[in-house]
Structure formats: C-alpha cells, structure tokens
Amino acid sequence: MANALKDYLNPSTLEATAELSKSFESAEPFSHLVIDHFFEPDFCQSLLDEFPIFDDDKARNENGTIGRKAVHTELCNIGNQYQKLDEMIRSDAFLDWISQATGIPDLIYDPDYYGGGTHENCHGQDLDPHVDFNRHPVTNYHRRLNLIVYLNKEWQDEWGGLIEFHQDPRKSPEINEITKVAPLFNRCVIFATHDHSWHGFERINLPEGDSDEHSRKSIALYFYSKTRPAHEYKGNHSTIYVERPLPRHIQPGQALSDEDYQHIQVLLARRDQHLQRLYRDNHRLQDMLDNLSNHKLFRLARETQNFASRVKRTLLWQRR
C-alpha cells in the first residue's frame, strides 16, 4: 500500500497510520485528526500552483448572489495535478489507508465531489457551526468522513478562519467545548461526519491591504459507506446550522459601537437566510406531499371508476 501512495502522501503520514487510528478514536469533542505535512511536499506545492482563480460563477450562493466563497467541484477539469489527486483518492490503496487511519471500514469515493472540491474563502467570509448532510443525494450512501487539506503558506490566528470543532454550539459559550485548528499549508484535517460533528469557522478578517493578496484555500474531500452503525443514524437530514451567539462584550445597558451594531445586523441577516432556506425546503416538501396525495386520489378515482364499469358490465351481462 505504501508503495502505491509514496508519490502523494508524505512518508511520515504513512508511518503514523497506527498512531493516527488511536488518536482519531480518542479525540475531543468528536473523532478527528490533524496531520501536518500530509502530502509529499512537491505534490502539495503543485496543487497550490494549479489552484483555480476565484470565479464569480462558482461563488453564487443559494440565493443566486455572488458571495465570498468559490467552490470547484470538477477537480479533473482543473489540471493535471488535480487529475492525479483524483486518481489517488479513488484508488484502493488510499481508501484502505484512510480506513486504517480512522477505523471506518469500506469507505467509498465520491466521483461527483458533491459539496467538495477546491474551496476558496475570502475576507469577510465565515461559516456558522453546523453538521453536514448525512446521505449522498444521488447514491443515498451514508456520509462518514470529511478530509480537508489546507494550502495557505501564510496564516495568522488573528486573521480568523480557523476551523472549529464544537461540542455543542447550542450551549452557552462558557460550556461549549471548542477545538480550533489553523488552516496552514499541507495540514490535513480528517473528521467523522455524524449528527454531533459540529464544525465551522469564524469570520476571516485580513489586515488592511492584504484582502486581495490572501484567501483561505483548501481542498475538501468527502467519503461515504453503504451502511453505518445504527446508533449513529437518526434519519436523513440536510445541513443543519446553528447561529453564533452575541459576542460576550455586548451586555445590557452598554452603548453599542458602530462595529457592534454591524455585527448584530450580520447575525440577524444570517439567521434570516437560514430560516428562508428552511421555509423553502418545507414548501418543497409540502409540494411533493400534495402532488403525491393528488396522484393517489386520481389513481383511486380511476380505479373506482374502472371497478364501477366492470360491475355495470357484469350486471348487464347477467340480465341477458
């Protein structure tokens, strides 16, 4: 297996497989790994060199407006190095390795890269704590793992954008346990996908003059399985968000600064977006139920009419 992956994964990554499995199982607040120097250095550099430029058409959000995040899901169309990446992650050797590193058997590669691919987040972008959709929309396979490799050679913690693993974002900030990981170059984060794998990142706030030069670049890969342990599955769901609480310094009786006011406006707008998405999903589901009900009623009426016709023909025949 190591020989098949040596051109892609750093030897230190392969040598640590047994230790990674132990760390994954014991990590808090839920199973995850942080692996520095994940790829072979030249290969990782080639992925950065070939990383696609920000494309407005790839940055349209659910409302159709251009946001601060661009996603390229068609990796093989980016370039030769991303074709090599695709070949690696679909290989039996890699799937065997990631199963060994996490203890999750029979993992399946997603050729559609649904929700994955290259992600570029720019100044001002953030991601509320959430758990991901748990079934693939085409295959209906169970989503089991997220693997993210960061490609940022310069990143300061004060810039924001650190991935956060939450114990439970619905709890107060004083109780909610949060693990933060900086998105540094060739750092890989792997974490389990289930109903309590809450994750997100705070707003990216780059220094003045750096917002055009820097962005948060990553490659996101998701892996699936045909089944999963029963205790991990409570039904099919889409991505579930929890809005961030007010900053701790905003207290009753305190005069709000302009920055505080703008922050509250952003939080309210974000909550409205999540509610609109839920309303839209609810309407879509109701339409499906209505169409299904109408179809059943139409079929029942047709079957009743056919039955009545058969009874009528039988009665007429008996009268002869």
Are the beta carbons of 33 and 148 closer than 8 angstroms?
no
Residue ending a domain, choose from 225, 245, 265: 245
Residue ending a domain, choose from 221, 245, 269: 245
Q: What is the pLDDT of residue 312?
A: 47
Residue ending a domain, choose from 193, 210, 245: 245
Q: Answer yes or no: do 62 and 174 share one domain.
A: yes
Q: Answer yes or no: do 236 and 267 share one domain.
A: no
Q: What is the pLDDT of residue 207?
A: 87
**H/E element holding 52?**
none
Please report whether residue 228 resides in a domain. yes
Which residue range is the domain that position 211 belongs to? Answer: 2-245
Longest dimension (CA), the chain: 97
Q: Answer yes or no: do 210 and 271 share one domain.
A: no
What percent helix, strand, coil does the chain show, rounded to 5? 40, 20, 40
Q: Answer yes or no: do 172 and 289 share one domain.
A: no
Q: What is the pLDDT of residue 3?
A: 61
Please report whether residue 77 resides in a domain. yes
In the chain, the N- to C-terminal Cα span, in Å, equals: 83
Please report whether residue 252 resides in a domain. no
Please report whether residue 180 resides in a domain. yes
- Give φ, ψ of 210 to 5 degrees: -100, -5
Q: What is the pLDDT of residue 178?
A: 95
Q: Answer yes or no: do 37 and 121 share one domain.
A: yes
pLDDT along the chain (320 residues), means of 10: 81 96 96 98 98 89 78 95 96 97 97 96 93 95 98 95 96 91 98 96 87 88 96 89 82 83 78 76 75 65 60 46
Total domains in the chain come to 2
Q: Answer yes or no: do 73 and 190 share one domain.
A: yes
Among 214, 157, 165, which Cα is nearest to 192's? 165
Q: What is the pLDDT of residue 211?
A: 63
**Peptide bond between residue 252 and the one before it cis (omega within 30 degrees of 0):** no
Cα distance between residue 270 and residue 61, in whole Å: 13
Q: Answer yes or no: do 82 and 125 share one domain.
A: yes
pTM (2 d.p.): 0.82
Please report whether residue 250 resides in a domain. no
Q: What residue type is 93 in one-letter code?
A: A
Q: Answer yes or no: do 85 and 182 share one domain.
A: yes
Cα distance between residue 219 and residue 188, in whole Å: 9
Cα distance between residue 67 and residue 247, in whole Å: 24
Q: Answer yes or no: do 200 and 228 share one domain.
A: yes
Please report whether residue 251 resides in a domain. no
Cα distance between residue 231 and residue 25, in whole Å: 16
Are the beta carbons of 144 and 225 closer than 8 angstroms?
yes
Are the beta carbons of 176 and 166 closer than 8 angstroms?
yes
Please report whether residue 78 resides in a domain. yes
Please report whether residue 269 resides in a domain. yes
Q: Answer yes or no: do 190 and 155 share one domain.
A: yes
Return the SS3 of 233.
coil
Q: What is the pLDDT of residue 317?
A: 46
Q: What is the pLDDT of residue 222?
A: 98
Q: Answer yes or no: do 193 and 304 share one domain.
A: no
Q: Answer yes or no: do 214 and 289 share one domain.
A: no
Cα distance between residue 183 and residue 36, in whole Å: 10
CATH number (domain holding residue 153): 2.60.120.620
